[in-house]
Amino acid sequence: MVKHVESLGLKANVIQGSERTVIAAVGEERVDGVSTLESGPGVDEVLPILAPYKLASRELKADTSIVTAGSLSVGGVQIGMIAGPCSVETEEQIVACAKAVKKAGATALRGGAFKPRTSPYSFQGLKEEGLRMLATAREETGLAVVTEVIAPDDVELVGKYADVLQIGARNMQNYRLLEACGKSHRAVLLKRGPSATIDELLLAAEYILDGGNPKVLLCERGIRTFESHTRFTLPLATVPYLQSKTHLPVVVDPSHGTGHTNLVTAMAKAGIAAGADGLIVEVHPDPAHAKSDGYQTLDFKAFEKLMAECRRIAEAVDRTL
Ligand code: PEP
Ligand code: MN
């Protein structure tokens, strides 16, 4: 059937389920000969996928995908907890952070080595040196590493050190970057652009899936509105909405979503209550002296408290943390 699909000029994407196998025939909508698929061997039915995104659509795959990368698993009963500093600053800082967040129950370590900054004069990250520090922190703790990649040419380098490639909000529609991550065998955390619609987010994810990489996590990290009491506005209805439209797991970022340390824990809890499959939270040994995003970062003690409070919410919605 794959050959048959390909002979029509369509791409065949095979999704093995527990009860049935789906062959997603992706390409131009109006091709001749689609009806000839119906009589093929083993074919139960041929259905059009109505959503503009095909591979990301729940119409294609009813079960939520579980994305696994080292110690991190997102999409199952257990909520994935990614925690760590905005930026990797020193080996001591990232290793201390990894140990503290692991002890509190985090399942992955975050930390930016390549930083996309609004101002060219702001700290740009330690680049490969930072990636090496992240690898050391992984060796010391066993935590999977989530770190940002900002350019297509860096995907190979970042992929050598990272377990999960983070595509930042500013790069959500960098199509060459999406394509490069589609070719990687690393999982990808795709953050929503601050002015992107949910359909645009899903179509950005579609680029990665279409490139052959099925391991995609979507992240709601807040959007830009007229409101200024928070850095961004964190729309949590995104979580159940996305879950109705896609099988990809959904992660919430209450740090960038609020921009204020004192609002992070409440919105982390709200994210879990809304059904998030994972959270990504900024944690630093000394937020007041962090090189980036200190104003929205938790110290170790506050993160422990967040974990304890989130566990109770998780239990209430039949999840574990
Ligand atoms: C970050 O995670 O530190 C970051 C830069 O996030 P975003 O791309 O969502 O702004
Ligand atoms: Mn940050």
Query: Is 312 a residue whose pLDDT tops 80?
Result: yes
Between β-strands 164-167 and 80-84, what pairing exists: parallel, antiparallel or unpaired? unpaired
**Under a CB-based contact definition with an 8 Å cutoff, are residues 85 and 297 in contact?**
yes
Within this chain, do residues 22 and 109 fall inside the same structural domain, yes or no? Answer: no
Nearest CA to ligand 1 atom 10: 169
79 inside domain: yes
Please check whether residues 80 and 31 belong to one and the same domain. no
Q: Which atom of ligand 1 is nearest to the CA of 169?
A: 8
Ligand 2 center to 151 CA (angstroms)? 17
Provide the residue range defining the domain that includes 31: 2-39
- In which residue are the tokens 């199952």 written? 76
pLDDT for residue 50: 84
Ligand nearest to the CA of 117: 1
Q: What pLDDT does 28 receive? A: 80
Which atom in ligand 1 lies closest to the alpha carbon of residue 116? 5
Which residues form ligand 1's pocket by a CB distance below 6 Å?
86, 112, 168-170, 191, 221, 256
pLDDT of amino acid 15: 86
pTM given for the model: 0.95
Nearest in space to 16 (alpha carbons), one of 60, 52, 82, 80: 60
Question: How far is it, in rounded angstroms, from Cα 227 to Cα 260?
Answer: 14
Q: Is residue 285 part of a domain?
A: yes
Mean pLDDT score, 62-87: 98
Give the ligand 1 atom nearest the CA of 280.
Answer: 2
62: in domain: no
In the DSSP assignment, the letter for residue 250 is: E
CA-closest residue to ligand 1 atom 1: 86
pLDDT at 27: 84
| Nearest bound ligand to the CA of residue 284 | 2
- For residues 247-269, average pLDDT: 98
Q: Residue 132: what pLDDT?
A: 98
Burial class (CB in 10 A: 0-12, 13-18, 19+), 301: exposed
For residues 307 and 321, what is the distance between their CA atoms, to the nearest angstrom? 8
- Mean residue pLDDT of the chain comes to 96
Ligand 1 pocket mutation pick from 124, 150, 220, 221 by most atoms within 8 angstroms of CB: 221
- What beta strand segments (E) does 168-238 contain? 187-191, 216-220
Task: Kindly give the distance from the C-alpha atom of residue 256 to the centroid of ligand 1, in angstroms, as a whole number.
Answer: 7
The SS3 call for residue 89 is coil
Dihedrals phi, psi of 187, to nearest 5 degrees:
-65, 155
Is 84 contained in some domain? yes
Pocket-testing residue among 88, 123, 166, 220, ligand 1, by greatest number of atoms within 8 A of Cβ: 166
Same domain, 144 and 23: no
Q: What is the number of structural domains in the chain?
A: 2
Query: What residue owns the CA closest to ligand 1's atom 5?
Result: 168
Query: What pLDDT band is residue 35 in, cutting at 50, 70 and 90?
Result: confident
Q: Is 266 helix (H, G, I), strand (E, B) or coil?
A: helix
State whether 11 and 144 are in the same domain: no
Residue 144 is predicted with a pLDDT of 98
Minimum CA distance residue for ligand 1 atom 2:
86
Residues with CB under 5 A from ligand 2 (ion): 86, 293
Q: Could you tell me if 35 and 81 lie in one domain?
A: no
Q: Which of 12-16, 31-35, 208-212, 287-291 is predicted least confidently?
A: 31-35
Give the C-alpha separation, 142 to 70, whole Å: 8
**Partner residues linked to 188 by β-bridges:** 165, 216
pLDDT band at 117; cut points 50, 70, 90? very high
Cα–ligand 1 centroid distance for 4 (angstroms): 43
Residue keyed to tokens 């990272």: 162
156 in the same domain as 119? yes
Q: Is 179 a domain residue?
A: yes
CATH number at residue 130: 3.20.20.70
DSSP for 16-69, please give it: E-SS-EEEEEES-S--TTGGGGTTSTT--------SS-STTBTTT--SPPPEEE
- Distance, in Å, from the CA atom of 170 to the CA atom of 226, rounded to the nearest integer, reads 19
Residue 280 counted as domain residue? yes
At residue 42, the pLDDT reads 92
- Residue 167 inside a domain? The answer is yes
Calculate how far, in angstroms, residue 130's C-alpha sits from the geometric centre of ligand 1.
16
Residue 141 predicted with pLDDT over 90: yes
Ligand located closest to 111 CA: 1
Task: Give yes or no: residues 193 and 287 share one domain.
Answer: yes
Q: Are residues 34 and 109 in the same domain?
A: no
Nearest to residue 14, comparing CAs of 203, 201, 214?
Answer: 214
